[in-house]
Structure 1
Amino acid sequence: MSDRDARTPRVFIVRHGETDWAKSGRYTGTTDIELTKVGAAQVSSTAAMIVGAGKPLDPSSLAHIFVSPRKRARKTFELLLPQSSFGAAGWEERVTYTEHIAEWDYGDYEGLKFAEIIQLRQGKGLDREREWNIWRDGCEGGESMKQVSDRLDKLISQIREIQRPHMNGGEAGNVLLVAHGLVLRCFAKRWIRYSVDSPLPMMLAPGAVAVLSYKNGNIDEPALCLGLELRKAEPSDVI
């Protein structure tokens, strides 16, 4: 990793920890569900490994944080970055709870499993020529691909403006997103200007972290960050 790459702002995307519905394969969009004990432990484990001064996700490096307003995302944020992580007062101004990063609204399919959705749609005479694909077909009574893309694009525009002044290093310019599995995969596609239904298979486990950034320190070259330089923090690195 070049010095330029190390100074280029990053976007950390974090999926909330396990919930009972997610564990059982039920589509969970607008329903407000708490983390399981395992889910809370997943996030706490992630925080212990990567969050802190001199670690990949240093609270002092964050220019802004966007969190889904659902309980499972809020709790994940609290476990990932306790208030004590921020030190100085006024950190609340850097946090926005926004529906822009809420999970896909599954509408009539909320709480159902994949096989149940397929059965429901077939009973209505749908999908006779091809199997239902949420990326392409959206959800009855819920959101379409375009609606999800539009709200994510608005958020991406906000993030670009936040990070634009920091492309050559300087003060903290990183951004953190805490949200949900499907919408974060959509976000990653839109970040690199792919359509939400592009065939780009991705996985993001409960409590997991992924990183987005820019190539060549250029705001017009958004990229997936496939790896970070992992090195021991020097005294000069710790603020």
Structure 2
Amino acid sequence: MSESGVLVVVRHGETEWSRLGRHTGLTDLPLTPLGEEQARLTGRALAGRSFDLVLTSPLRRALDTAALAGHPDAAVETDLVEWDYGPVEGLTRAEVSRELGHPWTAVEGGVRVPVRSGTQPGLPQWGPGVSDEGELVGDVAARAARVIGRVTPVLRSGGDVLLFAHGHLLRIFACVWLGIAPEVAERLAFGTASRSVLGFERDREALLQWNIAPETLDPAATPDTGRVAVTDRRSPADRRLPVDEARLTAALLDVVGLMDTLRSPGGCPWDAEQTHASLAPYAIEEAHEVAEAAESGDLGALREELGDLLLQVLFHARVAAERPEAEGGFALTQVAEGLAAKLRRRHPHVFPDASGVVTEIDDADGVNRQWDRIKETEKATRGTAGTASVLDGIPESLPALMRAQKVLCRARRADIAVGPDPDAPPTDDEADLGADLLALVARADALGIDAEAALRRQVRSLVAQVRAAESDAFTD
């Protein structure tokens, strides 16, 4: 018997609604500029492979992904159309959960629920358009089974098949392929323009690879062209510390989902009533606990404290996501995208710019000078150049010694002569004592010593001495 072929399934690239987490069934949206570039990168990953059968959903976002990936002649298969979400079309999971008063997902709760429709008048619809009731999970699974019936003979004869379709449809498709309940689809992450490979293992249907992302992209498109820059992404073999991407993705999605449940109706009352302001003290406390664990050398404690600090990031992002974007709302995705863009922008000596140029820098001092120049450029872009201070961004809530050293360091790098002479003789009154402390901080900064850490170490030593004395007194 000839060796069976493989089935490669590709989710369409990003659309505006997929970016916002809105259920997009039969609303026929185009790809965003990022989605178009994602599709091209997926095409590069598939280049050189021949397929005996290429099928695509009739929806525009799938058709365009197929074309940009190098398969403009893919045959249309109407059974690959995305789930008809009915009344939840255009709504996010969080919006539906709030209206229902309990946590909800499309797969586990179904789409035939009493909520307002998110469908927006004027947007193009495929075929008959979004229905009033929507499809049952079983209806989607039945369509997936029909497609499987069409492609299986090709695969069994040794041919390879390529499908372009949609997130929910393909996740349910994978469940039907494996012969498991379609409800398991809710546990399968499938990113935009990602691809997965189904096939056979010992002559049984198997999942060979899942959720392979396209090249990492910089989602910050230039306003005039909408062009998206591709980042310098090393292959897993080139990384100093390889990343288990599937496990990382699953873990992050899990904690995001847990946070969503805690914050949604039917979740935790305490979590539900928190605000950015009420959460602020916890972020400070957790940051201090991370610092303490890091200095102790206890990696187990550090891992736990980093998780607690990550919770604060997730919590603030979840609270912010409840506001409309027009009012400044954002989700964790925008936080991560902004951070990634900033890291690339501020490290041109590591990551190439849009023209592929990498800045040459010889040492850490050069990196610091470049960092300052880049921040000045960013201020000019925001229209704050000339009005900003070198001290901007140093929180007043920092511990006094830490803030003093940051102020002195910033001033020194800006060639601003401030602060006392580190060698000035000490005096006795309160004002002079403050000056003496500041002089010590200046001396620490000149020597490259972290004054706060040095003081914490001495305080820990003092604490140990006190506790030892207490222990001795107790045993006596």
Equivalent pair of 2:14/2:32 in contact (CA under 8 Å): yes
Q: What's the counterpart of residue 116 of structure 1?
A: 95
Deviation at 1:199, TM superposition (A): 6.9
Name the CA distance, whole Å, in 1 between partners of 2:185 and 2:21: 22
Over residues 5-29 of structure 1, what are the superposed CA-to-partner deviations in whole Å (9 max), with x where a residue is unaligned? xx53000010111100110111100
Between Structure 1 and Structure 2, the one with more strand by share is 1
Q: Answer yes or no: is 1:146 the counterpart of 2:138.
A: yes
- Give the SS at the match of 1:178: strand
In structure 2, what is the Cα distance between the partners aligned to 1:163 and 1:82? 19
Matched-pair contact (CA < 8 Å) for 1:26–1:111: yes
Relative distance call for 1:32 and 1:200 in structure 2 (3 A) is closer
When normalised by structure 1's length, the TM-score is 0.73
1:80 is matched with which residue? 69
Query: What is the Cα deviation at residue 200 of structure 1?
Result: 6.8
2:46 aligned with 1:51, yes or no? Answer: yes
Q: CA RMSD in A?
A: 2.1
The one-letter code sitting in structure 2 at the alignment partner of 1:34 is P
Classify the secondary structure of the residue corresponding to 1:186. helix
Distance 2:186 2:137 in 1: 15
Give the match for residue 107 of structure 1: 86
1:42 paired to 2:20: no
Residue 200 and residue 110 in structure 1: after superposition, are their counterparts in 2 closer, same or farther (change >3 A)?
closer
Deviations along 1:83-125, one digit per CA (max 9) or x if unpaired, are 5xxxxxxxx5xx4312211111110011111122123334xxx
The answer to whether 1:24 aligns with 2:3 is no
Counterpart in 2 of 1:231? none
> SS state of the match for residue 81, structure 1?
coil
Structure 1 residues 63 and 100, CA, compared in 2 at 3 Å: closer, same or farther?
same
Q: Does 1:194 align with 2:166?
A: no
Structure of higher RCO (CA pairs closer than 8 Å, 6+ residues apart): 1
Map 1:178-189; keep pairs closer than 5 Å: 178-189=164-175
Find the aligned partners of 2:13 and 2:191 in 1 and give their Cα distance.
Answer: 8
Pick the aligned partner of 1:65 from 40, 54, 61: 54
Counterpart of 1:225 (choices 208, 216, 221) is: 208
- For the 8 Å contact 1:104–1:182, the answer to whether it is kept is yes
Distance 1:165 1:46, change over 3 A: closer
Check 1:8–1:161 CA distance in 2 against 1; reply closer, same or farther (3 A cut): closer
Please say which structure displays the higher CA radius of gyration.
2
Give me the whole-angstrom Cα distance separating, in 2, the residues matched to 1:109 and 1:192: 28
Which residue of 1 is the match for residue 456 of structure 2? none
Post-superposition Cα deviations, 1:41-79, rounded to whole Å, max 9, x if no partner, equal 11111222x2222xxxx1x3x121121111000000001
Q: Distance in 2 between matches of 1:199 and 1:156?
A: 16
Q: Is the 8 A contact 2:198 2:206 kept in 1?
A: yes
> Which residue matches 2:155?
163
Aligned to 2:190, which of 204, 207, 211?
204
**Structure 2 counterpart of 1:163, one-letter code:** L
What is the number of equivalent residue pairs in this alignment?
Answer: 190
Cα distance change, pair 27–211 in 1 and its aligned pair in 2 (3 A): same
- TM-superposed CA distance for 1:139, in Å, is 1.0
In the TM superposition, what is the alpha-carbon distance from 1:164 to its structure 2 partner? 2.4
2:192 equivalent to 1:214: no
Q: Which amino acid aligns with 1:209?
A: R
Give the counterpart letter for 2:205 in structure 1: P
Q: Which consecutive unaligned segments of at least 5 residues does structure 1 have?
A: 84-91, 167-172, 229-239
Whole-Å separation in 2 of the counterparts to 1:98 and 1:200: 24
**In structure 2, the residue corresponding to 1:156 is in which secondary structure?**
helix
> 2:64 and 2:22 mapped to 1: Cα distance?
20
Q: 1:15 to 1:199 in 2, by over 3 A?
A: closer
**Residues 25/200 of structure 1: CA separation in 2 closer, same or farther (3 Å cut):** closer
Letter in 2 for 1:148: V
Q: TM-score, normalised by structure 2?
A: 0.38
Equivalent residue of 1:12, what SS?
A: strand
Match in the other structure for 2:308: none
- Name the CA distance, whole Å, in 2 between partners of 1:8 and 1:156: 14
